Amino acid sequence: MENNIQYNALANLFRYPTEDYFKHVKECGEILKDYYPKAYENFKKFQEIIDTKNSVELEELFSMTFHIQAICYLDLGYVLYAEDYKRGEFLVQMKKEQAKVGNDCGVELADNLPNALTLLPLIEDSSFREELSVRMYIPALEAMEKEFEASRIALKTKVRRKKQKVLIQEDMKNKNAYLFAISATLDVIREEFNIEKYVDNSVKADPLSSLIPSCESSCVTPAKTDKAVITD
């Protein structure tokens, strides 16, 4: 898609909701409907839930999904590596890439999902953009999807019940709303890079830049490397 505006539109879905959030959701829906019909099918489910919320409910939904008793987290390095040292390496390299293109990350980390998405249109090297998306972004988003599985949520609830007197999350409605936004984002990236040609998307190189091996023609069979640690 020209100018890759879809990534900026998707990034807005994962920023803390402000008064413009509903407008951003509508704009993203229009882009996906016109250019990414498969992704739009997932997005519609997200939008249907969001449209039932007022501003306070929307803030609560976002906080419960990503912050308070979070289902998953938005910092890709943490999603991929948890507390492993590679998380730090990944973040350092992401900071360098963000600074290189002048992408303002605001108060969030350089590998926070909205910042990671807005980085993509600014990367001039198409091969590097593909490597970053396929080897890092897709596995992270897939890991985030898994955190919404009923069994994983049940396990987290069980653990928290032992540690906390109150479980706010148990009373939260539509707690899977952002799952559909994550799935729509995955659909867009997979379509752009024709993900069907990749053999094993769970295999990733070390983080970024010179640490990612280049593919001169295609990445049909990526080299075997250490798998990322996925946090529950």
Query: Does the residue 225 lie in any domain?
Result: no
Query: Does the residue 129 lie in any domain?
Result: yes
- Residues in Cβ contact with 200 at an 8 Å cutoff, skipping those fewer than 6 apart: 222
Query: Does the residue 217 lie in any domain?
Result: no
Query: Does the residue 22 lie in any domain?
Result: yes
For the chain, percent helix, then strand, then coil, each to nearest 5?
65, 0, 35
Query: pLDDT digit string (tens) for 132-174?
Result: 999 999 999 999 999 998 877 777 667 666 666 555 545 455 6
Query: Does the residue 168 lie in any domain?
Result: yes
Query: pLDDT digit string (tens) for 111-123?
Result: 999 999 999 999 9
Query: Does the residue 223 lie in any domain?
Result: no
Query: Does the residue 229 lie in any domain?
Result: no
State the alpha helices, DSSP H only, in 14-163.
21-35, 37-50, 55-66, 76-81, 85-101, 113-119, 126-132, 138-146, 150-163
Query: Does the residue 100 lie in any domain?
Result: yes
Could you identify the residue written with the tokens 């990749």? 198
Q: Which domain holds residue 63?
A: 2-211
**pTM to 2 decimals?**
0.81
Maximum CA pair distance of the chain? 56
* Total domains present in the chain: 1
